[in-house]
Structure formats: C-alpha cells, structure tokens
Amino acid sequence: MADGPVSKFIDHNYRHFNASVVKDAALAYRKHISDGGRMLVTLAGAMSTAELGLSLAEMIRKGKVHAISCTGANLEEDVYNLVAHDHYRRIPEYRHLTAKDEQKLLKDHLNRVTDTCIPEHEAMRRIEGAVMELWKRDDKDGVRRFPHEYLYEVLQKGLLKKYYEIDPKDSWMMAAAEKNLPMVVPGWEDSTLGNMFAAACIQKSVGSAQIVKSGVEYMIAFSEWYQSNQKSPIGFFQIGGGIAGDFPICVVPMLHQDLKKTGVPLWGYFCQISDSTTSYGSYSGAVPNEKITWGKLGTETPRFVIESDATIVAPLMFAYVLGQ
C-alpha cells in the first residue's frame, strides 16, 4: 500500500504515549484486514453529529468495515445531517451559554449537542414523516423489521433525496445502506425515532409495537452473523463506550457459555478510543485485560486503548488504514 501524507505524518510523528498507540492500533487494523479478517465498528456518543461519515463512509466503501453496532442516536443523526446540514447551527462559545440562552435554543427548536444544534423541523420531523409511512405500511401488512432496516429503505429508495444538503458520499449510513451492511442498534428505544415510535403506538397511528424487532432479536441475528463469518478473524473497533460496544462484544461468551458452542473464536482484534478514564466499576473505562476474564478476548488478542477524543483520533486512524 502506497502511503499518503496523513499516514506518513503519523509514521514520522506518532512515536510515544497515546500517539504511539494510535499508530500501533492502526497498523494492527491494517494487518487484521490484510490477513483476511473482518471488522466490527461500534459507535457511541454523538459521532454522527460530529460528521464521522466524512471518514467512516470511505472505510465502508473500501471494505475495511464489515458490520456496525451503533446507538439509535448515531443511526438517525447521520441521516439528519444528510437532509438538514445547512440548517444546523454551530455555537463555538457554548461553554458560556446561560440558562436563558439554552431556553432560547429550545424555543427555536434547536437541540444542542456540545457546540452543534440539530434543527428539529428540518431534521427530526422530516425523517419522522418518511419513516412513519413505512411503520404504518408494515403495521398494515404484518411485517416486522429491525430499526436500521427502515432507514436503509429510506436511503435505498431515495425517499428524502430532494432534501439532501451534503454529498451523499459523506454519509456513513448511505455507504452502509448501499452495501446492506450488517448492523445492530442495541437500545434503539433510547433515541428520537424510538420516542416517536412509542408515541405513534400510544396514539394508535401504529397499531402494534411489535413491528419493530427487539434488542434480543438483534442479538440472535448478530450471533448468526458472527458464526457465519467465524472462519475469518473478527475484530472489534470500539468508538466510545456504552451499549454500542457492550452489547455486541457479549456475543462470544453467549455462544460459549450459554449455548455451549465449541470452536467459536474469541474476538481477533480489539481497540477502543475513549475519553473515559479507568475508574471504579466503569465498563467504558475498563482496561481490555478485564475482558479476558469474561471470555471476550484472549491472551493473544491484539488489544489497544487510546485515551483521547474520538472525533480527533478516529478520522486519523481511518486515514491510516486507508493509506491516505
């Protein structure tokens, strides 16, 4: 692979401490893929609102990502950015906002995520309108689907194409939908669309809450994916902490301990980018070795923790993996 300027910069400058771990983890990611491995990427926090799609979409298109686990917020917020980018408001001085300033943002239907405000009408309600029609259709037809499959259909059919405000190549959800990438969205109910779906069920706009498949069904489907791909080493690249990472990593001990499966490999690579420091009782801040005791990683699993801001580190690592 001919390395571009970003990779050369990392090779030359990233020699010690967190920087060296960034380089080591990126090199191991490259090796994992070149050796025929597959990679699951997990997204927590507000990575979609941070526009991680600018780098993650290309990773998906180039075959460097083979499955995604993300929160419901990351699932929908990438599509929000696709259809409402020009209506977002950035507030660089957000630390100095008063309570009255925050109330004014609410009145203006702007929901703040750090320095970035998501516009309710152009983003959330626009998506709600499209997805609501799909929920109603499936409710009528007795069809059940996973949460991400509804947004995949919206993107695959171009149901909101007239509203696109960024280049679709910069949307990681568009790249995933084009490949029909395997995905799990644990805890989807804790999202704006999840709340909208609950409201629709309460109002009887949708007759049955059962049309949207559950988290347990996600685990069943993911266990099938893991087993069908286990002939290749499967890596785990975790951005942030929380349920997006905790949920899928447990598929291995479930297969071993609960289903008594033999010959199921442990995760073949592990890297976490997190600003959660190691602390008492913290899963997000736990060192990778702790996962060995839970039957998730092995003693020989390449494992890395980068204690830094994922909005800075992840695009650099992706650029390195892509040889940019």
Give the tens place of pLDDT for each residue, 198-248: 999 999 999 999 999 999 999 999 999 999 999 999 999 999 989 999 999
DSSP per position, 90-137: E-TTGGG--HHHHHHHHHTTEEEETTEEEEIIIIIIHHHHHHHHHHHH
In angstroms, the CA 306 to CA 131 distance is 37
In angstroms, the CA 42 to CA 247 distance is 10
Question: How do the domains of the chain map onto residue ranges?
Answer: 5-321
Which of 288, 284, 281, 282 lies closest to 310 in space, CA to CA?
284
For 310-324, how does the pLDDT look when each residue is reduced to its tens digit (9 = 90+)? Answer: 999 999 999 999 999
Q: Do 65 and 317 contact (CB within 8 A), yes or no? A: no
Q: What fold characterizes domain 5-321?
A: Deoxyhypusine Synthase (3.40.910)
Q: What pLDDT, on the 0 to 100 scale, is given for residue 288?
A: 87
What's the distance, CA 26 to chain centroid? Answer: 18
- Let me know the angle formed at the C-alpha of 180 by 176 and 181, rounded to the nearest 5 degrees: 60
For 106, list phi and psi in degrees, rounded to 5. -60, -45
Phi-psi region of 34 (alpha: psi -120 to 50; beta: other; left: phi over 0): alpha
Q: What pLDDT, on the 0 to 100 scale, is given for residue 1?
A: 65
For 62-91, what is the mean pLDDT? 98
Quote the mean pLDDT of the chain. 96
Q: Look up residue 207 and give its two tokens.
A: 């007759």
pLDDT reading at 265 higher than 80: yes
pTM equals 0.96
**For helices 192-202 and 126-141, angle between their N-to-C axes, nearest 10 degrees:** 50
Q: 188 pLDDT band (50/70/90 cuts)?
A: very high
In angstroms, the CA 192 to CA 194 distance is 5
Which of 124, 121, 114, 123 lies closest to 91 in space, CA to CA?
114
Q: 276 pLDDT band (50/70/90 cuts)?
A: confident
Q: What pLDDT, on the 0 to 100 scale, is given for residue 284?
A: 64
In angstroms, the CA 196 to CA 34 distance is 42
Q: 279 pLDDT band (50/70/90 cuts)?
A: low
For 95-141, how does the pLDDT look when each residue is reduced to its tens digit (9 = 90+)? Answer: 999 999 999 999 999 999 999 999 999 999 999 999 999 999 999 99
Q: Residues of the chain with pLDDT > 70: what percent?
A: 97
pLDDT reading at 285 higher than 90: no
